[in-house]
Amino acid sequence: MKNGRTKRAVVAGGAGFLGSHLCEALLAEGIQVWCVDNFQTGLRRSVQRMEQNPDFTFVEGDVIETNFISKLPRSIDLVFNLACAASPVQYQADPEHTLMTSVVGTRNLLRLAEQRDARFLLTSTSEVYGDPEVHPQTESYRGNVSCTGPRACYDEGKRAAESLTLDFERAHRAEVRIARLFNTYGPRMRSDDGRVVSNIITQALEGSDITIYGDGTQTRSFCYVDDMIDGLMRLMRYDGEQPGPINIGNPAELTVLALVEHVLKLTGSRSPVVHLPLPQDDPRRRRPDISRATQLLGWAPRKALVEGLQATVEWFSKSEAASEPRRAADDARHLAG
């Protein structure tokens, strides 16, 4: 409760993979949620499920525009900005829109937080570290991003969004939090999302070619969705001094080859593995240093990779996921080719 009424949150990108999990976690805490989404990558099905809840309101809109703001209540306590396609295939499909979503969208949502005196949380990304030369990545590392390559629309957009977010705090215009999210997976990823976990699981279940880009020795560190949402909620609740950007991710690092082995074992699939060209600027390795999240938020991921993959495979095997368009293999070839 705040001022004698139920707390209110706006979740931009609330129909997306992480957004829909976050909306549900907020509702479970008794917080009223206004979910804003343009369905670029979000799913109507996620919204329809939550609309059964009287504390949930959906507002269709693009954060680049401002017309969604008039449909929100006058008083709001929390603004979460998760609005942006996050898969390379998706964010490279319309790079101008991706960059504007991070820059103009973040500006619109920061202004909303300023007007409503709400706390603002930006979901930034490990991509601000680019192809990192420091390993594992600490928040103080300034990164190695190409500002002209195909990933720049996402990376530079998020870097600009971070600077704008902290400028609002420096000017006392809004109280802000920034989370740098590392690769996250789990139930409700789209099968046509184009990311490695959804591609490989979908391909293994279909018995189609498993697409590894490059030799598969590049590494990532995968965080289960529930752990990620817990980290975001803790950061939003954090009441100390401005903590600066905080890495949220699972430090358990593995190669893409090892990930494929896990998925083949869990699914019992006999899909053949094919190697496709490594996309330009694909980071060689990535692992978060989460000391700050642990120290400030008492947060650490709890779900082991095999357990998390098992839950994700089960979800993808169910009919709900199967009704999604299955274009993972096509997207994979498009990106790598």
Give the shortest CB-218-to-ligand UDP separation in angstroms: 4
Query: Looking at 31-39, 131-139, 191-199, 287-295, which segment touches ligand UDP (CB under 6 A)?
Result: 191-199
Out of 95, 149, 243, 279, name the contact with ligand UDP by CB under 6 A. 279
Nearer to ligand UDP, 25 or 276 (CB): 276
Binding of ligand UDP by 177 (CB under 6 A) = no
Rg (CA), the chain: 19
The residue with tokens 């002209």 is 148
Q: Phi and psi of 124, rounded to 5°? A: -90, -160
Binding of ligand UDP by 211 (CB under 6 A) = yes
Query: Looking at 70-78, 134-142, 194-202, 303-311, which segment touches ligand UDP (CB under 6 A)?
Result: 194-202
3-state secondary structure of 51: coil
Nearer to ligand UDP, 42 or 194 (CB): 194
Give the shortest CB-84-to-ligand UDP separation in angstroms: 12
Find the Cα–Cα–Cα–Cα dihedral 304, 306, 309, 311, rounded to 10°.
Answer: -80
* DSSP-assigned letter for residue 3: T
Binding of ligand UDP by 81 (CB under 6 A) = no
Binding of ligand UDP by 332 (CB under 6 A) = yes
Give the shortest CB-24-to-ligand UDP separation in angstroms: 23
Give the shortest CB-318-to-ligand UDP separation in angstroms: 21
Give the shortest CB-157-to-ligand UDP separation in angstroms: 14
* d(C-alpha 125, C-alpha 141), whole Å: 13
Out of 92, 218, 267, 269, name the contact with ligand UDP by CB under 6 A. 218
28: tokens are 């479970």
Q: Which of 91, 129, 141, 154 is catalytic?
A: 154
Sequential DSSP letters for 67-136: GGGGGS-S--SEEEE--S--SHHHHHHSHHHHHHIIIIIHHHHHHHHHHHT-EEEEEEEGGGGBS-SSSS
Preceding amide of 283 cis, omega within 30? no
List the beta strands (DSSP E) in 118-224: 119-125, 175-181, 184-185, 210-213, 219-221, 223-224
Active site residue 91: no
Binding of ligand UDP by 224 (CB under 6 A) = no
The residue with tokens 């357990």 is 307
Sign of the torsion angle spanned by Cα atoms 184, 187, 190, 196: positive
Out of 177, 220, 292, 303, name the contact with ligand UDP by CB under 6 A. 220
Out of 20, 183, 184, 269, name the contact with ligand UDP by CB under 6 A. 183
CB 237 within 8 A of CB 229: no
Query: Looking at 15-23, 33-41, 213-221, 243-251, which segment touches ligand UDP (CB under 6 A)?
Result: 213-221
Out of 199, 221, 247, 250, name the contact with ligand UDP by CB under 6 A. 199
**Nearest CA-CA partner of 181 in 200, 154, 148, 202:** 154
* d(C-alpha 275, C-alpha 263), whole Å: 16
Binding of ligand UDP by 106 (CB under 6 A) = no
Binders of ligand UDP in range 240-269 (CB under 6 A):
256
Binding of ligand UDP by 128 (CB under 6 A) = no
Binding of ligand UDP by 195 (CB under 6 A) = yes
Out of 83, 212, 293, 297, name the contact with ligand UDP by CB under 6 A. 212
Query: Looking at 46-54, 102-110, 136-144, 209-217, which segment touches ligand UDP (CB under 6 A)?
Result: 209-217
- Angle (nearest 5°) at CA 19 between 263 and 127: 65
> Which active-site residues does the annotation give?
154
Residues that bind ligand UDP (CB under 6 A): 87-88, 183, 195-196, 199, 211-213, 218, 220, 256, 279, 282, 332
